C-alpha cells in the first residue's frame, strides 16, 4: 500500500516540476525575443544575449524565492545583476545598451538593484 501511494504521488509531482521548468523556459524565450525585436539584435548578438539570460536566470530565481531582505543577500543579488549587465554590455552597441537599460525595467522588473 505504501509503495503504491509513493508511486502515485511521484507520478503527480514529477510532471508538475517539469511543467514549471518548461514554463520558465518559454517565458525566457519570450523575453529574449522581445529584446531581439526592440534592440534589433543580429544573429550573433541574439545568440549571446540568450546565453547570458539563461546563464543567470536560475541564480536570480533562487534569490527571488528567498527573501532578499538581509544585506548579504542584497549584495550577492546586486553583484550577480552587475555581472549579467556587464556581459550584455560587451556585445551591444552604445545605442542598443542605452535602449536595453530602459527595456529591462519593463521586461524584467524584478531584476533591479536592491538597496
Ramachandran category for residue 92: left, alpha or beta (phi over 0 → left; psi -120 to 50 → alpha): beta
- What is the per-residue pLDDT for 95? 97
**Residue-level pLDDT, tens digit, the chain, 115 residues:** 555 544 545 455 555 544 555 788 999 999 999 999 999 999 999 999 999 999 999 888 887 777 666 777 888 889 999 999 999 999 999 999 999 999 999 999 888 887 7
**How far is it, in rounded angstroms, from Cα 25 to Cα 48?**
16
- Using CA atoms, how far residue 78 sits from 19, 45, 73, 98, 112, in Å, is 29, 24, 8, 19, 8
Name the pTM for this structure.
0.75
Ramachandran category for residue 98: left, alpha or beta (phi over 0 → left; psi -120 to 50 → alpha): alpha
Amino acid at each position: 500500500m505504501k509503495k503504491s501511494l509513493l508511486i502515485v504521488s511521484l507520478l503527480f509531482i514529477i510532471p508538475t516540476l517539469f511543467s514549471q521548468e518548461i514554463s520558465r523556459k518559454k517565458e525566457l524565450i519570450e523575453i529574449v525575443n522581445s529584446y531581439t525585436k526592440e534592440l534589433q539584435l543580429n544573429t550573433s548578438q541574439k545568440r549571446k544575449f540568450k546565453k547570458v539570460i539563461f546563464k543567470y536566470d536560475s541564480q536570480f530565481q533562487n534569490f527571488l524565492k528567498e527573501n532578499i531582505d538581509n544585506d548579504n543577500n542584497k549584495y550577492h543579488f546586486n553583484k550577480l545583476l552587475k555581472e549579467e549587465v556587464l556581459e550584455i554590455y560587451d556585445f551591444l552597441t552604445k545605442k542598443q545598451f542605452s535602449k536595453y537599460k530602459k527595456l529591462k525595467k519593463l521586461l524584467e522588473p524584478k531584476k533591479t538593484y536592491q538597496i
